[in-house]
Structure 1
Amino acid sequence: MTRQLGATRVAIVEDHTLFAESLDVALTFEGHDVRRIAPGTSHCTTTGSLLRTVLQLKPRVVLLDLGLGPTGSGLPLVEPLTRAGAAVVVVTGSSDRVEWGECLRAGASTVLSKSQPLNDILATIRHLGEGRAVMSRDRRDELTATFLRDRSERHELRRQLETLTTRERQVLEQLMYGRTVREIAAASVVSEATVRTQVKSILAKLHVSSQLAAVGMAHRCGGLSYDSAS
């Protein structure tokens, strides 16, 4: 078909072939200049190479998935693409409001769920091409605030985890693997009483009342770091 005057160049960064093809067909039918980038291919195996490939296309709009298979998360691409002048529309299967807020904080124009009708994505592209807003200020502020609140809470959790000694971190790590006090004691060649004392100290320092809560804190922070351990 003849491409419409002023068609928007749209880059689709998506590792699910069928979904990418559906977007490609629908957007091309509307007259847009569509370019598809498949993460994980020979020239897009890392976040850096993927970013360079997208930037070379000089898209007006980037439809970006967050889960990009072996290439990793699409989140690190949002800020540099936005800085380069592209309008980033995150189209994701994730319903994590914190993750959505982080995308918006990084500069994404909006975040759409893959479960939404295809027409919603097409309308978003049209509105961006017309220079119209695609997300209300209240909605953007709400999601961004959710991310900032979660980031602050994680920072406090990490601060508490850093008060643990190296040995206490090792014990907590074993608890994260689902090991019992008896198993930890046997592997460390110490008494169960010693491990229970260490667990009690961990709970006190983290201000929680159960091993499950302590493990949950560690998981929420993405695991344990030993850089600041004493």
Structure 2
Amino acid sequence: MTRVGPAGTKTVLIEDHTLFAESLEIAMTMEGYDVRRLPIPEAAASAPALLATVARIRPRIVLLDLDLGALGDGVPLINPLARMGANVVVVTASMDRARWGECVRYGARKAMSKTQPLNEILATVRRINRGLSVMDAAEREELLRLWAEHRQELQEHRQRLDALTTREREVLGHLMAGRAVRDIARISVVSEATVRTQVKSILAKLEVSSQLAAVGMAFHAQWQPPSTPRVS
């Protein structure tokens, strides 16, 4: 039977921003929801324990942040939560709609910005509790398209990064650490001209026009450089 009101509906908040979480908890409790705000673990390895706690509570609705401090990215929690039968609503400071699309892809009913009025978040919770839709087909398709395009772009960037030689990867790692060409040359015991040639090759392979763009691509793709010596 479709629910028509909170009536003690179990709701879990997974949110590391204390003030925002407290405001949401108070507002939902006043409306009659049975709200549990879970403490955020201090390590990513604690995610299974967090999920186990949610499973014991068996909430109908979970409000989930994406940037969870030491726990890391909240996206990997979405699918396990949805598989438990929870309706996951992502409430995030991120305005990256491709990231919102990733949330929807993995089972979130909706992704919302923390900048939206509290009443809009509460309205979404009410609709879910009543068994109503909270996202139309057009919005869903747009978010999934943005996520798919973003994923394709990341794959292309990683392929370019994988094409770098071992030495070029080392140089890019130095650039990511903020080191200048002269410092890289000193650490590597080679001439600055040699390093500049290597940088030029990196830019060509990554299809970018500046060191800043190359570094930005590497960070965006979450690429990990090989270990490089520290500047003494």
Q: TM-score if structure 1 supplies the norm length?
A: 0.89
Once the two structures are TM-superposed, the CA of residue 224 in structure 1 deviates from its matched residue by 3.0
Q: Distance in 1 between matches of 2:140 and 2:178?
A: 39
| Higher mean displacement: 156-165 or 33-42 | 33-42
CA separation of 1:118/1:169 partners in 2, compared to 1, >3 Å: closer, same or farther? same
Q: Distance in 1 between matches of 2:42 and 2:200?
A: 50
Moved over 3 A (4+): 4-7
Residues 43-192 of structure 1 mapped to structure 2, 5 A cutoff = 46-192=46-192
Structure having greater relative contact order (Cα 8 Å, sep ≥ 6): 2
- Contact preservation (8 Å) 2:100, 2:143: yes
Q: Distance in 2 between matches of 1:153 and 1:182?
A: 32
CA separation of 1:225/1:172 partners in 2, compared to 1, >3 Å: closer, same or farther? closer
Once the two structures are TM-superposed, the CA of residue 212 in structure 1 deviates from its matched residue by 2.2
Partner residue in 2 for 1:36: 37
Question: 5+ unaligned residues in a row in structure 1: which ranges?
Answer: none
Q: Distance in 2 between matches of 1:79 and 1:57?
A: 17
| Higher mean displacement: 57-66 or 46-55 | 46-55
Partner residue in 2 for 1:205: 205
The alignment of Structure 1 onto Structure 2 pairs a total of residues equal to: 222
Give me the identity figure in percent. 56
Q: CA RMSD in A?
A: 2.0
Q: Distance in 2 between matches of 1:121 and 1:23?
A: 9
SS at match of 2:36: strand
Q: Please give the per-residue CA displacement for 1:56-93, whole angstroms capped at 9, x wherever unaligned.
A: 10000001111222222211110110111110001111
Once the two structures are TM-superposed, the CA of residue 107 in structure 1 deviates from its matched residue by 0.8
CA separation of 1:6/1:85 partners in 2, compared to 1, >3 Å: closer, same or farther? same
Once the two structures are TM-superposed, the CA of residue 41 in structure 1 deviates from its matched residue by 7.0
Partner residue in 1 for 2:216: 216
Partner residue in 1 for 2:195: 195
Q: Distance in 1 between matches of 2:215 and 2:81?
A: 36
SS at match of 1:70: helix
Once the two structures are TM-superposed, the CA of residue 6 in structure 1 deviates from its matched residue by 4.6
Q: Please give the per-residue CA displacement for 1:111-132, whole angstroms capped at 9, x wherever unaligned.
A: 1111111111211111111111
Q: Distance in 1 between matches of 2:40 and 2:6?
A: 30
Partner residue in 2 for 1:13: 14
SS at match of 1:46: helix
Question: 5+ unaligned residues in a row in structure 2: which ranges?
Answer: 227-232
Once the two structures are TM-superposed, the CA of residue 225 in structure 1 deviates from its matched residue by 5.0
CA separation of 1:167/1:58 partners in 2, compared to 1, >3 Å: closer, same or farther? same
SS at match of 1:89: strand
CA separation of 1:207/1:38 partners in 2, compared to 1, >3 Å: closer, same or farther? same
AA at the equivalent of 2:14: V
Q: Distance in 2 between matches of 1:45 and 1:178?
A: 30
SS at match of 1:85: coil
Q: Distance in 2 between matches of 1:191 and 1:50?
A: 52
